[in-house]
Structure 1
Amino acid sequence: MPTTTRDVLAVRGVRLYLASGALAAIGQNLLVTVLFKQVFDITGNELDIGFIGLAQFVPALLLVLVSGSVADRFDRRHITSLFLAGRGISGIALIVFSASGSTRVLWLFAIAAFLGTADAMLAPARRSIMPFLADKAMFPQVVVVWTGTFVGASIIGPIAGGFLYSVSASTAYVVAACFQFAAAVPVLLIRYHREPGRTTDRPTWTSAVEGLRFVRRTPVVFGTISLDLFAVLFGGAIALIPAVASERLGVGDIAYGWLRAAPGIGAAAMAIWLSFRPLQRRIGPTLLWVVAIFGAGNIVFGLTRSYTIAFLALVVVSAADLVSMNIRGAIVPLVTPDDQLGRVNAVEGVFIGASNELGAFESGVAARAIGLPWAIAGGGLVTVAIAASFTFLFPSIRNIDTYRELEPVDS
């Protein structure tokens, strides 16, 4: 009998994890929504949105070996709580900047880099907690509930950001910082269903790069996270929503906030569907199809001048991305040994960061070079082509039928 959402929510550790994740995601979505809009309002340059994304990504790349090793060596709950507080400190810095009335965007780039550093250390530890919250057979549905919670926050955060930014940037950042500090508490109260394996080896270069080696020699993991990397790197239009709202659609702050929330609405609708109809068969082919749909939705979003069509396109894009997130979020932990989860998640975090933050930079550069519409639509075309090519390049993904057939790969 399939695990239900009710079964998952009956586990106290899951509820605490979701509470922390919801608070953190609302705060982060609120903060990023305002930060992207603020920098664009100051300079009017799409490329500066890209530089914010680049500043957030670089720390994840530089710290990939450190963050994963820390997550595998120390208590992941404590690491998560510490760097959620670090996110809150980033919010405080943005409050000070906004209250000062400064227009020196270099300060915003520096704060974004600090925020990226906190994210780089936080992400591997937090993602490595989830497989140990409940029985292993329940894990795929835990991922569904987690992603549903995350995308629900992706609705609340941007809408709140639009309203609060219309009051003042400082007000928005105060609320964002409070959410991050609050998120640091529930994770400390989590008790594991089963104790995670930890590495007890002395920190060495060989140990640190083991996550990279595991990803490279495991085609199903390498292919899964590479697909997400390239799809969102070229098809990620989210960062350009401030420019689209202003230049293509001609709407104000509140309408911008709703447009920024459209991805969360689509993803939440899909999360509800999956909670009642979890994926059971044809896992691999489904992953490839939803990435292609993701690309097609970006093509529509890039070319339209209609607010309604743009909104609906983002809903479709995010619904497809939600399915991809669920599948990837289950595949990688299920085939990774417990004592390497932190290091593998750190590598995956760089891929995710490259697809999101570096994707924001790529989108900003492309918009400056070839214009806003084709920067988005062209990326969507590339994404569709990537999904088609991975069907042949990674048969290990195409051939996955059920989650039950996935087992940890020997180190």
Structure 2
Amino acid sequence: MPRHPFAVANFRAYWVARLAATLGQMAMVIVIGWQVYDIARETMTIKEAAFQLGMIGVAQFLPLLCLSLFAGWVADRIDRRWIARGAVSLEASCALTLAWLTYSHTITLPALFGIAALLGVARAFAGPALGALAPNLVPKAILPTAIALSSVSWQVGTVIGPAMGGYLYAGADWLPYAVAGGLFLLSLLMLMLISPVPAAARKFTGSPWAQMIDGLHYVRRNRLVLGAISLDLFAVLLGGATAMLPVYARDILQVGSEGLGHLRAAPAVGAVLTGLVFSWRPLKKDVGTKMLVAVAIFGAATAVFGLSAPLLLHLYGAGAIGDDLAPAVVLALLALFILGAADMVSVYVRQSLIQLYTPDDMRGRVGAVSTLFVSGSNELGEAELGFLAALIGPVAAVVGGGIGAILVTILWAKLFPELRRARTFDPPANLEVPPKEMTT
């Protein structure tokens, strides 16, 4: 029996596939946001352009909202490898289309919004399928390690991808899309290398619609899973500072598209270093409490980032800050570094708890709910922050969101004591849910 997930060929291919797909997805997200804001600023004010950033978040979220439950149901009934392959193929097509439109200087706001919606469709199916596939690839004895490694690949891709996109965009505006297309094709190749895997016996009762909403019922009744998912939803919904990075890069810190890469790299560095620590010394004790503390730190770092330029303006005076924004940029980078490290802790714990505390025949549907919540926090967070920035300005929106994330963490620690009582990743001996609890 293999003693480590990387000793399993199927898992190695899966890990590379998920990392490559996530890198491509996140590189496109940051560049789409920059292009939307950049094109909008040619004819709009800062607040009006920030509103367009909010709308691009809505365009990506609506397909997830409409399709997630169906995608989770499909992931529990159809070979998860083929679902992931189809989704990644659609993402590759979107990336290469955007590369051509940008290269030929025919890119427009309607094209960006339309392709962003198609990416939302692909992510709606890819999330549950990829998340539920990992536990099928390795023996049960090394399943916790496999889930942790899967979470690390997703998180590393999530934080490195946008930084990579920002740097590539500074070199050539079409380049990040072309590289993302190549990454999606690599992911597709790796997924094709995964051989058929035995699936656990699955029992389905009731109508297809009832089966789809079983995932919601399970999450609602498992308070540990509900608390972990909803904490991420509301914390990131309020504290999604990265949605305002194009605004900070262009108009507040004035560092341009190259500086956007630096800003997006800072949380990537924090997250990667934290991930390396976990690979050496994984979390074993008081995992729930550590997740709560990490989310609170995430909120505090978000608020400090929002205040980076105004704080230096207050300390050094308008003349100094107007002539040299370097101190403000350093403070912003430090805050983003801490933000990324804290987010890595939160995601590592949350994803491990959700996967380990969910039966295999429910992982697709519960994964769909998790994808909906997590993507809701990201895309709706971008929308909320964009709309709020249009009303009160980007600085106030970011600072207020960070404070809100801290308050949500305090509230969730009281509402969900199960999170505080989660000492280890060890799941209960029996994860089966009685049929009467899975129906309404």
TM-score (norm 1): 0.93
With over 3 angstroms needed to count, the CA separation of the structure-2 counterparts of 1:395 and 1:163, relative to structure 1, is: closer
Map of 1:37 onto structure 2: 34
1:51 aligns with 2:48: no
CA contact (8 A) 2:163 2:268 kept: no
Partner-residue secondary structure (3-state), 2:277: helix
Give the distance between the partners of 1:26 and 1:204, measured in 2 at CA: 34
Map of 2:330 onto structure 1: 308
2:374 corresponds, among 344, 348, 352, to 352
Q: CA deviation at 1:64?
A: 2.1
With over 3 angstroms needed to count, the CA separation of the structure-2 counterparts of 1:47 and 1:340, relative to structure 1, is: same
1:123 corresponds, among 123, 127, 142, to 127
1:10-409 residue pairs with structure 2 within 5 A?
Answer: 10-44=7-41, 45-102=49-106, 104-154=108-158, 156-191=160-195, 195-199=199-203, 204-305=208-309, 306-407=328-429, 408-409=431-432
Give the distance between the partners of 2:284 and 2:172, measured in 1 at CA: 47
Partner-residue secondary structure (3-state), 2:373: helix
Q: CA deviation at 1:405?
A: 4.4
Q: CA deviation at 1:152?
A: 3.7
With over 3 angstroms needed to count, the CA separation of the structure-2 counterparts of 1:243 and 1:206, relative to structure 1, is: same
TM-score (norm 2): 0.88
Gaps of 5+ in 1: none
- CA root-mean-square deviation: 2.0
Aligned length: 407
With over 3 angstroms needed to count, the CA separation of the structure-2 counterparts of 1:62 and 1:154, relative to structure 1, is: closer
Partner-residue secondary structure (3-state), 2:254: coil
- For 1:233, the aligned partner's letter is L
With over 3 angstroms needed to count, the CA separation of the structure-2 counterparts of 1:318 and 1:167, relative to structure 1, is: closer
Give the distance between the partners of 1:258 and 1:196, measured in 2 at CA: 45
Give the distance between the partners of 1:293 and 1:37, measured in 2 at CA: 27
Give the distance between the partners of 1:219 and 1:155, measured in 2 at CA: 28
Larger Rg: 2
CA contact (8 A) 2:204 2:211 kept: no
Q: CA deviation at 1:286?
A: 1.1
- For 1:349, the aligned partner's letter is T
Q: CA deviation at 1:191?
A: 4.3
With over 3 angstroms needed to count, the CA separation of the structure-2 counterparts of 1:166 and 1:403, relative to structure 1, is: closer
Instruction: Identify which range, 10-19 or 149-158, moves more after superposition.
Output: 149-158
| Runs of 4+ with deviation above 6 angstroms | none
1:410 aligns with 2:433: yes
